[in-house]
Amino acid sequence: MTASKGRGTALKLGPIRYAPYTQRYLHLTELTGPSIGSKIVRFKVRNIDRRFAVHEDLICRTSTLFKTHLQQNRKTLALTPAPGSEEECCVCQDDLNPTMKDITYCMTCGQNIHDTCIEQWKQSCHANALDRTAPTCPMCRAPWKNEPLLKHLTIDTPLDPEAVQTYLDYLYSGTLSIRPTLSRKTDAFNVFLLKCWAVSLALSDTSFKHTVIRTFFTEATARFWTESVKWAFAEGHADQEIRDFVVEVFMAFVDGGWFSRESGKWDGAFVKACADRALEGWVGRKGYRDVRREWLARVDGRDGSEDLEEVKFELRDKISETKGKGAGKKRKAVGGGLRSRKRVQSGAADESGASGLEASGLAWEEFDDWDLSRFVGARP
């Protein structure tokens, strides 16, 4: 995904329209929350026939994409700095608290400065200068660059227009407000949350993504079904992260026999993803040696699994006891200890098996994957 940046003029800056409930939250934010500055960014999404507007400082706080393109050099500013912190205005030496004053920054060094302080600094530079040189940054002394009040960006990733507007409302209100007419009991609600998740990925806003995930687990009462699978897999709107989430939640409700009964009714890519997830989570999956041993035992009309496991734990105990006593003493203790132990059931490890381990000279780390079948005596 790419984004292009353009600049506009302050004369073309028009009113920003918000939803009624967003205006209420915006009013409270301006009174009690951090300052959102005076700069506006308008951005266009390729597949949407409208432009969106948002305060630059607000969206750059959480969106890595916008911060990279608009405020890449700006130093990070805490929204609620601790008293006596090092975040001070280099002009007035007061704390840089965005709740109390508007804050701007130098485009060259990224230093944050009170907006009123930099204006006073500019006036003093003009008053003291003998020529008409541009005012400089009080921190790095580079010429101060005035940014336009309006900027433009273009987002190439296809997004849902309602989900984008919901994201902007979330920035101003701090709440993910989804229209109440969208029932939480339907898969359509899940699809809309996935669309909001796609917005968070396209704009690189981790905080919004976390809010979307939290909303799914606290408000959604329907599991992922055909609409979600169609949007994420068949239509290909979702990134891999979203598809993995859909599969993981879906597999939590799947029981034995689902693949043989229902898999033919679902998208092929989705079924393959479910199969891969099932194999990854197969806790009791047997290795080739286990399968080989069990099937050979069936063919021979016996069950050698018990003898094999008994010998394995027998050897593990003895090697653990003698660990650190030297390689020669360890092999001797393992061989002698195993021969002196009582036989387990009717067919336990014989002395030749222990002698084989003694002669092999294997460390325990190497022995852990060793084929123990040769140390197991055949049942009569």
Co-location of 271 and 332 in the same domain: no
Q: pTM for this structure?
A: 0.64
Please tell me the distance from the alpha carbon of residue 255 to that of residue 264, in angstroms, as a whole number: 16
The answer to whether position 159 is within a domain reads no
- Host domain of residue 215: 167-280
The answer to whether position 13 is within a domain reads yes
- In sign, the C-alpha dihedral spanning 138, 116, 8, 49 is positive
Instruction: Return all residues near 159 (Cβ < 8 A) that are at least 6 apart.
Output: 45, 47, 48, 195, 198, 199, 202
Of 229, 245, 280, which residue sits at a domain end? 280
Helix or strand or coil: residue 151? strand
The answer to whether position 295 is within a domain reads no
The answer to whether position 161 is within a domain reads no
- pLDDT at site 13: 38
How do residues 138-167 score in pLDDT, each as one tens digit? Answer: 888 888 777 776 788 899 999 999 999 999
Q: Tell me the pLDDT band of 31, cut-offs 50, 70 and 90.
A: very low
Place of tokens 């030496």: 93
Co-location of 323 and 272 in the same domain: no
Please tell me the distance from the alpha carbon of residue 199 to that of residue 214, in angstroms, as a whole number: 16
The answer to whether position 113 is within a domain reads yes
The structural domain count of the chain equals: 3
The answer to whether position 287 is within a domain reads no
How do residues 232-274 score in pLDDT, each as one tens digit? Answer: 999 989 999 999 999 999 999 988 888 999 889 999 999 999 9
Co-location of 271 and 327 in the same domain: no
As a whole number, mean pLDDT of residues 190-197 equals 97
How do residues 103-147 score in pLDDT, each as one tens digit? Answer: 888 877 888 878 788 888 877 776 665 556 678 888 888 887 777
Which DSSP string corresponds to 133-146? PPPB-TTT-PBPPP
Co-location of 8 and 149 in the same domain: yes
The answer to whether position 289 is within a domain reads no
Of 240, 265, 280, which residue sits at a domain end? 280
* Inter-CA distances, 155 with 28, 152, 167, Å: 30, 10, 14
Helix or strand or coil: residue 198? helix
